[in-house]
Amino acid sequence: MTLGPIMLDVVGTELDAADIRRLQHPLVGGVILFARNYQSPTQLKALTASIHAVRQPPLLIGVDHEGGRVQRFREGFTRIPPMREFGKIWDKQPKKAKQLAEEAGWLMAVELRAHGIDFSFTPVLDMDYGVSQVIGDRAFHMQPQAIAELAYALMQGLKRGGMAAVGKHFPGHGYIAADSHVAIPVDERSFDEIASTDMQPFRQMIDDGLPAIMPAHVIYPKVDDKPAGFSERWLQKVLRQRLAFNGVIFSDDLSMEGAVVAGNVTQRALAALNAGCDMALLCNRPDLADELLENLQWNISAPSLARLARMHGKLHPADMTALRESHEYIEAVHTISQIGIHEDDMFAEAS
């Protein structure tokens, strides 16, 4: 059975019969985990092993584990600071900031890989305009160059730890205040204005080999009347053709308020897939998941399958016991877990 184009979540800390039924459906290709799916490191390893055992090739397992307020697994995992902290360091010591971002990416990857996770939906490439309710300190910086350099360093760290990066939220979610989880944000700027600012980190990361992108549930009416994740203009003409992106496009969550403009859940999934997404996410609504799996008809393309296959975790992951005996790991935990807690002390040590 090949991977399907839908990524779902699971209800609890272990698979129940309904979860298994859904995950065995040919339309499913991945699972996204949340804090509710985490009880302990041992439990998480058992859960991911059971998900991977459901079928062959194994389903992809992803998680939003960016650091700061968006870090799904906490107890037993290193505290990753919000990405804005690296931007603050970049202002004073750009080389040091990039080294730390690379180390944070590696640490994030090896800990997640040790627990059976294939990839994290990170980094955020949105610009920090200081107005977005949902982005905020998840963004690295206001300057596109700082974002691109820090995100590239994080991506290299992820890669060294066996994990692909996912840049989000294309073409940029930072300019407007509305949160697409609970509203339908509208960005009134022209294409040229967006292209010369918010799109620059995406452009640079694509040139640097970014493996995957998640578009925003934001409407840019001067470009298209559909949210970017449902827009063939954004995903095909801009992302695929103009920017020559050949990685995976994941839709943002189809249950979010910013997605309802596309209709019922099946219409939303079709809109995302027809626009150019390789995989559509549906989270926190098992009832809608059942409706979608019953009604969606979609034959996944060979290029999509090839792209998705590259999202499987790389390298043979070390277990946590081996990591804790590693000098590199111990040093990384000590360094990264302190960022943003004792900023003045850290700068004094680094200077």
| Secondary structure (DSSP) of 230-297 | G-HIIIIIIIIIIS---SEEB---TTSGGGGGG-SHHHHHHHHHHHT-SBEEE-S-HHHHHHHHHH--
Place of tokens 């698979």: 15
Q: Considering the candidates 9, 224, 252, 253, report the single residue annotated as catalytic.
A: 252
Report in angstroms the alpha-carbon separations of 257 from 32, 181, 250. 19, 5, 17
- Name the residue among 6, 25, 4, 2 with its Cα closest to residue 282: 6
| Secondary structure (DSSP) of 60-90 | EEEE-EEETTEES--TTSPPPPPTHHHHHHH
In this structure, what are the phi and psi dihedrals at residue 250, rounded to the nearest 5 degrees? -100, 135
CA–CA gap between residue 198 and residue 218 (Å, rounded): 13
For the beta carbon of residue 322, count every other beta carbon within 10 angstroms: 12
Locate 321 and state its tokens: 């016991």
Are 221 and 188 in contact by the 8 Å Cβ rule? The answer is yes
Report in angstroms the alpha-carbon separations of 348 from 226, 342, 344, 345. 49, 10, 6, 5
Q: Is 91 annotated as catalytic?
A: no
Q: Which residues are annotated binding-site positions?
A: 64, 72, 138, 168-169
Place of tokens 């970049």: 90
CA–CA gap between residue 32 and residue 44 (Å, rounded): 13
Q: Is 252 annotated as catalytic?
A: yes
| Secondary structure (DSSP) of 205-234 | HHHTT--EEEE-S-B-TTT-SSBGGG-HII
Q: Which residues are annotated binding-site positions for substrate?
A: 64, 72, 138, 168-169
The catalytic residue positions are: 181, 252
